[in-house]
Structure 1
Amino acid sequence: MKSNTSSQMLKGILQGVMLIILEKKPDYGYGISKQINQYGLSDIPKGTIYPLLTTMEKRGLIEGKMKPSLAGPDRKYYFTTVAGIQAKKDFINEWHFLEGAVNQLIDEGENNENKRND
């Protein structure tokens, strides 16, 4: 990411991003972090992901299960729950609504700026 502002904006949507990732495939904290990085969201501090996983688990959106690891100690894998799948759907709907509203504002702003420059 390019700036602190972008990082602050992302923290507000990180739960939705993590639910989307976990619905595709259960994963453990570091694995989730690596997946987030693959989408170019590399400025998310690792210290943000773990507390959010704990909060999401307490809210019943995900469930953690310990599983053996070939590369060391057991790892806690997170799975989406029925409530988590619904929260993911709600997030996507809200995202599309917000995206449409913001894009409309941007387009109108650009059109007004172009008219002033003519």
Structure 2
Amino acid sequence: MKGLTELLKGALEGIVLQHISKGETYGYEITNYLVDLGFEDIVEGTVYTVLLRLEKNGLIDSEKRKSEVGPPRKFYKLTPAGTDYLAEFWTKWTFLAEKMEQLKEK
């Protein structure tokens, strides 16, 4: 969907954290997951920028591990602060979705 990337910018941190909350993962896998969900405009560079910001803010931890193919991969997992942030994200998202639905109906 064209133009979706601009709308997603504010939500992308929460989307990435939600995926990481399901288990340790790495950037390329996150990008593929988002593309499979239909977010075709999301590029790997965007995901890595989000991951760097999340790590800098203490919401995720990373660990480099050997890969069976290619160079080592950086695996990410949520920190306790990341878990709290994700819960807050969903609270805000639910509020916003409800208000947008109300606005649409008026």
TM score, norm. by length of structure 2: 0.95
* Aligned sequence identity (%): 36
Gaps spanning 5+ residues in structure 1: where? 109-118
Q: Deviations over 1:19-72 (max 9, x none)?
A: 000000211110110111121112112221111111110100000101111112
State the match for 1:3 in structure 2. 2
Residue in structure 1 matching 2:37, options 27, 36, 39: 39
Specify the code of the residue in structure 2 equivalent to 1:12.
G
Gaps spanning 5+ residues in structure 2: where? none
The answer as to 2:105 corresponding to 1:74 is no
TM score, norm. by length of structure 1: 0.86
State the match for 2:57 in structure 1. 59
Distance (whole Å) between structure 1 residues aligned to residue 33 and residue 65 of structure 2: 19
Bigger helix share: 1
Q: Deviations over 1:63-108 (max 9, x none)?
A: 0101111112210001110000111111111000000000001011
> Once superposed, which parts of structure 1, at least 4 consecutive aligned residues long, lie more than 2 Å away?
none
Distance (whole Å) between structure 2 residues aligned to residue 49 and residue 3 of structure 1: 18
Residue in structure 1 matching 2:82, options 58, 81, 84: 84
State the match for 1:114 in structure 2. none
Distance (whole Å) between structure 1 residues aligned to residue 97 and residue 50 of structure 2: 24
Distance (whole Å) between structure 2 residues aligned to residue 106 and residue 72 of structure 1: 48
**Would you say how many aligned residue pairs link Structure 1 and Structure 2?**
106
Structure whose CA Rg is larger: 1
